[in-house]
Structure 1
Amino acid sequence: MALIALRDLGVATPRPLFQNLTLNIGPGDRLGLVAANGAGKSTLLRCLAGRAEPDAGSVVLSRGTRLGFVEQDLPPGLLGLSLSEALRRALPPAGRAQEEWRVGAVLDEFATPEELRERPLAALSGGWQRLALLARAWIAAPDVLLLDEPTNHLDLEKIALLEGWIAGPASRTPMVVASHDRGFLDACTNRTLFLRPGTSRLYAHPYGAARGLLAEDDAAEERRQLRDAKEIHRLRRNAGELRNIGVNSGSDLLQKKSMQLRDRADRLEATLRPLHAERPGSIRLASRGTHAKVLVAIRDLVVATPEGQPLFRIARLDIRQGDRLVLLGRNGAGKSQFIQLLRRATAEPVAGVQVSPSLILGHAAQGMAHLPEGRTPHEVIAAHAGIGDGRAIALLAGAGIDAEAQRRPIARLSPGQKARLGLLVLRLAAPNFYLLDEPTNHVDIPGQEQLEEELLAQGATCVLVSHDRRFVEAVGTRFLLIEDGRVREKEGG
């Protein structure tokens, strides 16, 4: 039984996103949506939720079907409410007084600490705010959940909590999940829709297996189109030869045969479609050489909060050329504080940190907060030495930032555009030591894979924080676990 039925669904404005989507979502379905940034995942979810109108086709819900839609951003009107009150207000008003007991039950399902339950949402971490939105949708007892980037801002511990909740209390609830988290998609989905402007592809498999099938199908389609193009060329050549012979000999039969061959070529040509190519813009890095074997030497360093409260101590740590040191630990453990301390040590003396004189820093803050939000991308790139107006435009376009966005204040860019701009700024700095705090946040899967390839190809030395398991596994060479105020180096991620 279909709970949601899509029939020839399409959105073509302001540009083509998807078309002719026909599929059913029913009991047991966990559908993963995969596409580049800005390619229509959130738009499709909004169409399913009835918050956006498609340009073509329809979305039909089975009678009485209730949807729980979890968007990416916390509505400003909720920020002043406590976590418990935000959930209470998600209950139907008519039976709210009788159903208030469910607030505690749902918070228990998400393993919510008691001290957070009466805290305003504005005072909670981004991870707990995401879980609050999910809990608000869940408390209304939806028949289908629509989740837009549910792992954003979640550390590895909370991602594991979310996956456990999906496998447990929510195991019988169908879901449609838009996500760039490859590990999460593999753990929590059983169908995958690759959203495309032309022909989207649907597979009855989680992301990893579906990606392999997609590659095979794309290669087969490319081979078919190549064969058809050769056949079209052959038919048109033969048609031309027959026409010439028919005209010269006065043979109506040959001219008729020539027309038949041209018609066959036209019909075959009408079946050809442009091959799909991901065009999110390239992510490239540069890495400057250095003769130093140890770029950063740490001895008896205490990492503390901005208020001076100690978080953890590192007795001894050398970061050598070629190391890609991954910092592991829950949100609030001090990973970002360590990144900030290392950044400061490259500019001024910091007790306990010795920096090589040849070190050239490349830094990307979480959410690309280091970018000047009042300036435009064009201004930021054109300000680099040796880069004029035309080259700035070309570099930004190559990174996936279109002409309109290039002249827009950075504060008004999408998170994905900010991420790509920040990584372009890194490339232009040509560092030999990278500090990367959640560099894959809001970067689509093609961009994540490009960043992985670049870090490996450049032999980059870096200290990075990431909750993306696939990214960490691909690039990490050393792993430092920060846990309960202690630090230890561990094998693997």
Structure 2
Amino acid sequence: MALISLKSLGVTMSAPLFSNLDLTIGAGDRLGIVAANGRGKSTLLKCLAGAFEPTAGDITRSRGLRVGHVEQSVPEALLDRSFHDVVADALPAQQRDSELWRVDVVLDSLDVPEDMRGRPMRALSGGWQRLALIARVWVTDPDVLLLDEPTNHLDLARISQLEDWLNALPREVPVIIASHDRAFLDATTNRTLFLRSEESPVFALPYARARQALDELDASTARKFERDMKIAQQLRKQAAKLNNIGINSGSDLLTVKTKQLKERAEKLEDAAVAAHRERSAGAIKLTNRGTHAKVLITLEDATVETPDGAALFKTGKRHICQDDRIVLLGRNGVGKTRFIAMIRNAIAEPGSIANIKVTPSTVLGYGDQALSGIDGGDTPLAMLSRRFEVGEQRARSLLAGAGVAIEMQERKIGVLSGGQKSRLMMLVLRLIHPNFYLLDEPTNHLDIDGQEALEDELLKHQASCLLASHDRSFIRAVGNRFWLIEKRRLTEIDDPEAFFRSVAETPN
């Protein structure tokens, strides 16, 4: 039985986000929603929750249906409340005293440590804030659960834990997930909706298989369009030839035949459906300056430390060479980000870090998860023009190509979306023209198209890089060497799969 039905649903802002969307959601559904940044995923979830009125079409919900909607950001009013109170406050006032036990049941199911429950939200990491919002909605016992980018800020262990939690939920409760995390969608969904401005295909398949089916559908549509347009063109040529003969001979029959051929051509052209072309959210292009040096960085058993000087781990004797795409693996807190910062400092000031030798020809392209390389108070146009001494026209063209529209180029970088900031950061890296990339969570704000573009660019340019990521699909696509940090040592392993399994089996 359908719990929610959509009929010809559409939302238009400055342009259509989606239109003519027909969809039913029922028990057992685990639906993944996929679209580029800013193309309507969050808006559709708000429509399903009843928090946003669509421009066109109808939404029918079962009588008394309770929809739980987990949004991306934490409301300001909750930041000073404790983890436990944020969840407890979601209970109806008349149930709070008698059913407070439900809060502990939900927090236990999400493996929230006791000492975490009393902390204010403001003091929690983004990952724990995300789990608090999920618990806050689940404690209300919803009939349908909507999740907007649920893996944002979660490490691999917490992502694995969330996958297990979702897969253990009662099957009668449908779950709708808007996400850019391909591996997460594959692990948690059985249907996939590709949200598009005109026609939005839906497949009874998890993401990877649905994407393959979508590509085949798009290719078939493209072939049919080309075939129909070719036939229409032939019909018009025949009509023109008959028209000339008819004029010369004065034949009414040929005139009628000419009109029929033109009408058939027009019908074919009107009915022909062009293959879908995704409007680009902004191109991601990288470069590789190259170097004659085979070894870029040598580690002679360097020590990675906390800010107060406590040892985290030793590197052993290691080399980072040309064409290496090294992925750092390890649980939260083992020192991945500290290691990346140490390498960055060693490149910026050669000889400043003990037991790290950097080849002089190494040119660094650095990007971190906070996108600290771009100043939120600056404007994209001013930053690009100043840092790279390009003229205004060239700067505007580069920014537009990276997805920063003309009207946004003189606004503060701080008001850009996460996806726009990430693409701007990639543009900065490209203009630096490095031969070694140091990337900490580079896919955090990118949609799937952006993730795949970044993968393609790193591979195409044979870019040397050291990166840390929680994106399993990205790690599998890009990495050709894998360094694992555990038990205060750095070791090289053949592939990341054993580590992924270990995290899934023992998430804490």
- What is the distance in 2 between the residues matched to 1:87 and 1:75? 13
Q: Which moved more, 1:163-172 or 1:348-357?
A: 163-172
Q: Which runs of 5+ in 1 are unaligned?
A: none
- What is the distance in 2 between the residues matched to 1:23 and 1:486? 51
Q: How many Å apart are 1:121 and its aligned residue?
A: 1.2
Could you say what secondary structure the match of 1:259 adopts? helix
Residues 170 and 312 of structure 1: CA distance in aligned 2, closer, same or farther (over 3 Å) = farther
**Cα deviation 1:54-100 (Å, max 9, x = unaligned):** 11112221111111111111111111111111110011222111110
- What is the distance in 1 between the residues matched to 2:331 and 2:154? 9
Do structure 1's residue 264 and structure 2's residue 264 form an aligned pair? Answer: yes
- What is the distance in 2 between the residues matched to 1:82 and 1:308? 31
- What is the distance in 1 between the residues matched to 2:113 and 2:20? 46
- What is the distance in 1 between the residues matched to 2:16 and 2:390? 33
The aligned counterpart of 1:136 is 136
Q: How high is the TM-score relative to the length of structure 2?
A: 0.94
Do structure 1's residue 415 and structure 2's residue 418 form an aligned pair? Answer: yes
Q: Which moved more, 1:308-317 or 1:375-384?
A: 308-317
CA contact under 8 A between 2:27 and 2:171: conserved in structure 1? no
Do structure 1's residue 315 and structure 2's residue 327 form an aligned pair? Answer: no
Superposition pairs for residues 151-190 of structure 1, below 5 Å?
Answer: 151-190=151-190
Q: How many Å apart are 1:386 and its aligned residue?
A: 5.0
- What is the distance in 1 between the residues matched to 2:484 and 2:365? 23
Q: How high is the TM-score relative to the length of structure 1?
A: 0.97
The aligned counterpart of 2:397 is 394
The aligned counterpart of 2:500 is none
Superposition pairs for residues 22-421 of structure 1, below 5 Å?
Answer: 22-278=22-278, 279-348=280-349, 349-385=352-388, 387-421=390-424
- What is the distance in 1 between the residues matched to 2:126 and 2:426? 22
Q: How many Å apart are 1:26 and its aligned residue?
A: 0.4
- What is the distance in 1 between the residues matched to 2:117 and 2:487? 22
Question: Which amino acid in 2 is paired with 1:465?
Answer: A
Could you say what secondary structure the match of 1:450 adopts? helix
Q: Percent identity?
A: 54
Q: Which moved more, 1:328-337 or 1:153-162?
A: 328-337
Q: How many Å apart are 1:251 and its aligned residue?
A: 2.2
Q: How many Å apart are 1:339 and its aligned residue?
A: 1.1
- What is the distance in 2 between the residues matched to 1:94 and 1:404? 50
Q: How many Å apart are 1:171 and its aligned residue?
A: 4.5
The aligned counterpart of 2:503 is none
CA contact under 8 A between 1:367 and 1:415: conserved in structure 2? no
Do structure 1's residue 443 and structure 2's residue 446 form an aligned pair? Answer: yes
- What is the distance in 2 between the residues matched to 1:185 and 1:359? 38
The aligned counterpart of 2:501 is none
Do structure 1's residue 6 and structure 2's residue 9 form an aligned pair? Answer: no
CA contact under 8 A between 1:367 and 1:441: conserved in structure 2? no
Question: Which amino acid in 2 is paired with 1:282?
Answer: A
Q: How many Å apart are 1:111 and its aligned residue?
A: 0.9
Do structure 1's residue 459 and structure 2's residue 471 form an aligned pair? Answer: no
Could you say what secondary structure the match of 2:316 adopts? strand
Question: Which amino acid in 1 is paired with 2:256?
Answer: K
- What is the distance in 1 between the residues matched to 2:254 and 2:323? 71
CA contact under 8 A between 2:286 and 2:457: conserved in structure 1? yes
Q: How many Å apart are 1:383 and its aligned residue?
A: 2.4
Q: Which moved more, 1:57-66 or 1:410-419?
A: 57-66
Do structure 1's residue 480 and structure 2's residue 493 form an aligned pair? Answer: no
Residues 291 and 433 of structure 1: CA distance in aligned 2, closer, same or farther (over 3 Å) = same
Question: Which amino acid in 1 is paired with 2:16?
Answer: P
Q: Which runs of 5+ in 2 are unaligned?
A: 497-508
Q: How many Å apart are 1:240 and its aligned residue?
A: 2.1
CA contact under 8 A between 1:367 and 1:419: conserved in structure 2? no
Could you say what secondary structure the match of 1:283 adopts? coil
Misfit runs of 4+, over 6 Å: none
Q: Which among 436, 449, 458 is matched to residue 433 of structure 1?
A: 436
- What is the distance in 2 between the residues matched to 1:463 and 1:442? 19
Q: Which moved more, 1:298-307 or 1:9-18?
A: 298-307
Aligned residues: 493
Q: How many Å apart are 1:304 and its aligned residue?
A: 2.4
Q: How many Å apart are 1:170 and its aligned residue?
A: 4.9
Residues 484 and 152 of structure 1: CA distance in aligned 2, closer, same or farther (over 3 Å) = farther
Could you say what secondary structure the match of 2:193 adopts? strand
**Cα deviation 1:387-437 (Å, max 9, x = unaligned):** 211111111121222112222211110000011000111111111111101
